[in-house]
Chains A and B, each alone.
Chain A
């Protein structure tokens, strides 16, 4: 009888629903994604997975320590860490921009550690209090489209970008990319507030295109949407790899030039880390030659440890870097944001 069938079907559906809910609860309780055990090293990484994963794998191989990796955007993870402060979940934080580590250090969520392997790193690329250590760097460069910019026109200074002939043709990422924020802060430091403001206002008046993301910048320049872009050195290599017609300038290299700002990637240990010894081992490992070779080679980063082979990228010693401490940049941050509201 139809009716009976209908009722049974209805009953089954209800039973199935209850089963599903029970299943859900059991998944929560014992499922494959149960909370990580204390013996697993939890790493929150803002570095690209393709860059950090091989190094992590090698670490696991060498030490037998099990690692759980959560890849995300540096600032997103930092926010997460700040929210988790009452019950920290991560042991290690890897940031693509050291300023974020400085923010976290000021938020009191980092545990200081001065690894022996960091000794050959110049002081501006590690925390003076040992809260974080630079693991590689990226220089602020001018990227240009070879089809749109003739050789003789290639600017040599960031100041040239304010030139009227580049009106509407220059792109930069907004301050959502913290490297832009650092760069602006560095300008304030080096040029002084009023000059820096005047320069940036010139750029903005010249229809500087402020994009959400650095990848928008290099892809935009590569595709010819823009002639010039201010971005980070690895992006030049990424664009080359993608077969795009781009050239690069490390700006302001002249004698009086301010140099190119180098933003370090950094590693930090979280306060309250459940696996402190393993965390320290990881920091030591990441500064080792083996790991450095992977991190630097894979992602076109600039090695910060003196004497490391830079591969295809220009080593720190080959250009003039703008020297400023991350602490100073962090001090300037609030002021910078106020100065340049459009970014």
Chain B
């Protein structure tokens, strides 16, 4: 493919143009780009289409379940949960993001690595650990009784528990995206605000925060959509949401139609959220990084050091240290850990390679999609945004079932292989990679690519030598998000895994239903350690690449 471009000296249409990568133009998509778009849309929209046909196939019966009043209760409840969880995650994510990138807090590099660790802890594991702590017969209530208290001091079950746990284990989305935006933002803007007489707080509220909007929105979107689509954690915490209702329809009635109809509503909700996000970003420009980008200003903390540390410790403590300590407590003895590790190597490997492949493919696709979205803000961009984001909205179980039907029928040679698992990850988590790439790309001045073109680079080479190095932190973050989400995924994996192919989360799930809590905790710890390791590696890599760090 590459050599072909290099060979031809005179082409009817430039390569870049062919991909539609031209700034002010709205020329029609060229064959290669159109093919790419068609592929992405086919890949992502086919399960959706399947879902809709399944929902409509039932005619009145499928739709009747939507008309019952309970759907509205369910919807408002789910939206409430997702909104509160997002607010909670923002509250947890934004202050540390600022503290860790913009202040001289001692140990901030380590904290930054640790701060992303909750992503390594699947919310369902988080839910289980918090139930051991804050459940009706959890450690806190036991201690309370031991001290002579009566009744329940705390009860995690219910909406607030769902909010607590979902926020605690998704805030790193916001920390990561806001952190990388804070790192690459133009200090001149803040200096301008400073010159206008604002203190650090004023600058943060009036300049930094508004400029962070794309990142915060992207992060919030990830949290919000996660909360909409989460099943395992909310069902452990006994919150009734759309997904639990869908699961109920599927697993007690085997009613795929109602489940599909309900899922379609969820997808519609997601679509609305996405449209709202686009509207809210509007036509404002958020490009900050010109070529003269300086590293951002670092504020000395002074007497605020102790509160800043406390804030960081509190957030990290409740989302990292506490759950891990509880898991260790559940494992009981180190022997079980080693034993699980020894017997679970195969599952570990399965998780690792499927996750890595999904993350890599997602990053590649995301770059393509992000490019089209960012550089051609037209209908194609809109279609692609929608297509790549919606996979996130389909509950894992429903997505899994759709994929089974589609691939078992039309591409049976893929079905029954581990590629299905990868596909499941890809469809569920492509939005994360796309979000990361779009956010990073929107910060890169398109002139830089033109400069490279003028210096003898094809658009592909310009992309590789200029744009990609500049958005590498964003892409790495996207890769990492997809990888981590993938190796935690359980709902779709359960359905899509070929017989005999288990991943770590599947083993955790099996251990949980076998009431082998020590085993589940041990496997969870292995999963967390496995996820944490690449987090460390990528953070290092990041620091090495970017001189802005």
Contacts and interface: CB of A to CB of B under 8 A. Distances in A.
B360 A21 contact: yes
B235 A75 contact: no
A317 interface: no
A211 B254 CA distance: 20
A24 B248 CA distance: 35
A83 B413 CA distance: 16
Interface string A239-272: 0001000000000000000000000000000000
B418 A84 contact: no
A343 B513 CA distance: 21
A89 to B, nearest CB: 6
Given A49-B510, A176-B248, A225 B498 contact: no
Interface stretch (A25-33, A125-133, A200-208, A289-297): A25-33
Contacts of B253: 333, 337
Interface residues of A, number: 62
B107 to A, nearest CB: 30
Contact of A223 (B137, B356, B468): B137
Interface in B254-276: 254, 256
B27 interface: no
B355 interface: no
A83 B401 contact: yes
B136 A225 contact: yes
Contacts of A82: 254, 256
Given A48-B513, A69-B499, A86-B409, A176 B252 contact: yes
A51 to B, nearest CB: 8
Nearest to B469: A10
B452 to A, nearest CB: 12
A24 B135 CA distance: 43
A228 to B, nearest CB: 15
Nearest to B254: A103
Interface in A194-220: 211-212, 215, 219-220
B130 interface: no
A131 B248 CA distance: 25
A79 interface: yes
A84 B361 contact: no
B248 A79 contact: no
Given A10-B469, A36-B498, A75-B254, A28 B416 contact: no
Of the candidates B251, B361, B494, B495, the one having the most CB atoms from chain A within 10 angstroms of its own CB is: B251
B549 interface: no
Interface string B233-257: 0011010000010011011111010
A71 interface: yes
A35 B251 contact: no
Interface string A40-61: 0011100011100000000000
Nearest to A83: B404
A14 interface: yes
A70 B250 contact: no
B364 interface: yes
A68 B254 contact: no
Given A89-B499, A212-B238, A75 B418 contact: no
B486 interface: no
B464 interface: yes
Contacts of B465: 6-7, 10
Interface in A52-108: 68-73, 75-76, 78-80, 82-84, 86-87, 89-90, 100, 103, 107
A224 interface: yes
Q: How large is the interface on B (under 10, 10 to 19, 20 to 34, 35 or more residues)?
A: 35 or more
Nearest to A75: B251
Contacts of A5: none
Nearest to A241: B515
A52 to B, nearest CB: 11
B497 interface: yes
A76 B496 CA distance: 11
Given A27-B418, A31-B418, A176 B499 contact: no
B514 interface: yes
Nearest to B70: A341
B405 interface: yes
B397 interface: yes
Contacts of A89: 408, 415-416, 499
A86 B416 contact: no
A1 interface: no
Of the candidates B418, B422, B512, the one having the most CB atoms from chain A within 10 angstroms of its own CB is: B418
B500 interface: yes
A108 to B, nearest CB: 13
B280 interface: no
Nearest to B346: A32
Contacts of A242: 515
Nearest to A16: B360
A17 interface: yes
Contacts of B357: 20, 23-24, 27
A17 B360 contact: yes
A174 interface: yes
B501 interface: yes
Of the candidates A73, A76, A181, A242, the one having the most CB atoms from chain B within 10 angstroms of its own CB is: A76
Contacts of A215: 512-513, 515
Contacts of B469: 6, 10
A201 B291 CA distance: 70
A35 B498 contact: yes
Nearest to A89: B416
Contact of B416 (A24, A35, A50, A223): A35
A48 B361 CA distance: 34
B404 A28 contact: no
A337 B254 CA distance: 12
Given A73-B251, A224-B137, A87 B408 contact: yes
A73 B513 contact: yes
Contact of B515 (A87, A238, A341): A238
B419 interface: yes
Contacts of A38: none
Given A50-B514, A90-B499, A176-B248, A80 B418 contact: no
B400 to A, nearest CB: 8
A175 B495 contact: no
Contacts of B416: 35-36, 89
B537 interface: no
B248 A175 contact: yes
A178 interface: yes
A42 B397 CA distance: 22
B360 A20 contact: yes
A93 to B, nearest CB: 12
Contact of B499 (A21, A44, A76, A100): A44
Report, nearest first, the 6 A-B pairs whose CB atoms are least far apart: A75-B251, A70-B499, A33-B418, A223-B137, A68-B499, A83-B404
7 contacts: A24-B360, A79-B397, A80-B404, A90-B499, A176-B248, A224-B137, A225-B135
Given A24-B360, A80-B401, A220-B137, 6 more contacts: A17-B364, A21-B360, A24-B357, A24-B422, A87-B412, A212-B235
